[in-house]
Amino acid sequence: MKPATDALIVIDVQNDFCPGGALAVAGGDEIISRINGLMGDFATVVLTQDWHPANHASFAANHPGAEPFSLTTMPYGPQVLWPTHCVQGTAGAEFHKDLRTDPAQLVIRKGFRPEIDSYSAFFENDHNTPTGLEGYLRSRGVTALTLVGLATDYCVAYSALDAARLGFNVTVLEGATRAIDLNGSLAAARAEMQAAGVRLT
């Protein structure tokens, strides 16, 4: 068992990010048994859940003529336009059926504001609007985080970078993550995480 100051953060293990889903990450379902096995080692387990309204500004379908995976500019900076995914109340937004959810004390839903995307478990993409996760962890006395889930180069990396910036000791278990790897995004994310002091194992 890990010390009580350690928490496991499980990022977006949802149907739409697993094979067959709307924004499938290759091998996304292969990490689930490892994640399930880790849960018993941590006194604090948090799950995050992408939770978009159908009219979300990050969906290519809501920008006439825009192709999925193209870039646009939002008030908070560049934004990838994604295929419609993890829409509130749909099967795609549900946690994968094989993921253990009982051990989790908290589920953080993100991306529910239509006008702003949210990759990180800590902040929306303006890097300013908090999800409340930091306060929860601090009130539980947590100082070290282990991150797993989907996808390595987007929601996991953004969460890890924010956590490091907030002063947490951060480890990403790469064997329990999978990447989208859009135009070299995995290599860029790994370099950025390492530069920020995130431990990649």
pTM of this structure = 0.96
- The predicted-structure confidence for 181-195, as pLDDT tens digits, reads as follows 988 999 999 999 999
pLDDT of residue 193: 98
Distance of CA 107 to the CA centre of its chain: 12
Please, are residues 150 and 11 in contact by the beta-carbon 8 Å criterion?
A: yes
Q: Which helix (H) or strand (E) holds 194?
A: helix 185-195
pLDDT of residue 156: 98
CA distances from 12 to 22, 35, 77 (A): 13, 12, 23
Q: How confident is the model at residue 94 (pLDDT cuts 50, 70, 90)?
A: very high
> Known catalytic residues?
12, 110, 155
- The predicted-structure confidence for 4-60, as pLDDT tens digits, reads as follows 999 999 999 999 999 999 999 999 999 999 999 999 999 999 999 999 999 999 999
- C-alpha to C-alpha distance for 64 and 145, rounded to whole angstroms: 40
